[in-house]
Amino acid sequence: MFTGIIETTGRLKSINQIGGDIQLVIHAPEMDFSDVNLGDSIASNGICLTVVDIGDKTYAVDVSRETLSKTALKNWRTGDTINLEKAMLPTTRFGGHIVAGHVDGVGVIRHISKDARSIYIEIEIPSDLMRYTADKGSITVDGISLTTNAIKPEQNIVCLNIIPHTAERTNIDRHWSVGGLVNIEVDLISRYLERLLLTSNQAQKSAGSISEELLNKAGFYL
């Protein structure tokens, strides 16, 4: 589990083919490795990946074909800047929102412009994810917990304002550009709410179909 508050950035050092999968080595000179162990999870551009090797300020992760097909990772190149966040602890200050590290889809950056000292960005996301967005709601983009300034449902667009601190502490300043692909994770709570409502509606429909005739057939006589 993560919070979407990026701890530091790293650089993609190498991409190695292993069978049908790949192994990535990420160099993270500013990361505190004192509490990183094999098997730990590190969100890398929002993708929850398991540490399989630790080197000198580097760590390696294995990536399955499933992850490659569902995320923007297939477009990563050696030298890319990667947003990094270690899994949260019970004592961690919860500064963002609940982030699972399970990418829901890939978004496309459609617009970037300056807005005073901030950066205004529009991202097109998959249409089936729009129902989980809302004005002033939460969304995770490349692992960054962000607030949706506004949404444009007819265009499948979420609008974001990035403050200077966030841009400088992440890969936004160095890596994001119009046409670029980013990992999208919608608010986990909205998914649970949808499931709860669907289950509730189904239960109500089932309850509404009970009749005296049905009860008689089941052996209950009124």
pLDDT band at 82 (very low <50, low <70, confident <90, very high): very high
Residue 115 · residue 183 · CB < 8 Å: no
What is the structure's pLDDT at 92?
Answer: 72
SS (H, E, C) 143-188: CEEEEEEEEEHHHCEEEEEECHHHHHHCCHHHHCCCCCEEEEEECH
Q: Which of 79-88, 92-101, 121-130 has the lowest mean pLDDT?
A: 92-101
Report the 10 Å Cβ neighbour count for 174: 12
What is the structure's pLDDT at 218?
Answer: 57
What's the mean pLDDT in 35-40? Answer: 95
What is the structure's pLDDT at 190?
Answer: 84
What is the structure's pLDDT at 91?
Answer: 75
Query: In terms of C-beta density within 10 A (0-12 exposed, 13-18 middle, 19 or more buried), how is residue 47 classed?
Result: buried
Higher pLDDT, 90 or 25: 25
1-21 core/surface letters (b: 16 or more CB in 10 A; e: else) = ebbbbbbbbbbbbeeeeeeee
Tokens of 9: 């950035």
pTM: 0.86
Query: In terms of C-beta density within 10 A (0-12 exposed, 13-18 middle, 19 or more buried), how is residue 172 classed?
Result: buried
What is the structure's pLDDT at 27?
Answer: 98
Report the 10 Å Cβ neighbour count for 155: 12
Q: Which of 5-19, 89-103, 121-135, 203-217 has the lowest mean pLDDT?
A: 203-217
- What residue ranges define each of the domains in the chain, with the CATH number in brackets? 8-86 (2.40.30.20), 105-195 (2.40.30.20)
φ/ψ (deg, to 5) at 142 = 50, 35
What is the structure's pLDDT at 222?
Answer: 47
What does the pLDDT look like over 61-71, one tens digit per residue?
999 999 999 99
What does the pLDDT look like over 144-165, one tens digit per residue?
999 999 999 999 999 999 999 9
The DSSP letter of residue 71 is S
What's the mean pLDDT in 175-197? Answer: 90
CB-based contacts of 179: which residues, under 8 Å, 6+ apart? Answer: 108, 109
What is the structure's pLDDT at 196?
Answer: 79
Query: In terms of C-beta density within 10 A (0-12 exposed, 13-18 middle, 19 or more buried), how is residue 171 classed?
Result: buried
What does the pLDDT look like over 17-27, one tens digit per residue?
988 789 999 99
What is the structure's pLDDT at 97?
Answer: 85
99-138 core/surface letters (b: 16 or more CB in 10 A; e: else) = bebebbbbbbbeebeeeeebbebbbbbeeebbebbeeebb
What's the mean pLDDT in 94-110? Answer: 91
What does the pLDDT look like over 191-222, one tens digit per residue?
888 877 777 666 556 555 555 665 566 555 54
Q: What whole-number distance in Å separates Cα of residue 114 and Cα of residue 133?
A: 24
Is the per-residue pLDDT at 176 higher than 70?
A: yes
φ/ψ (deg, to 5) at 6 = -70, 130
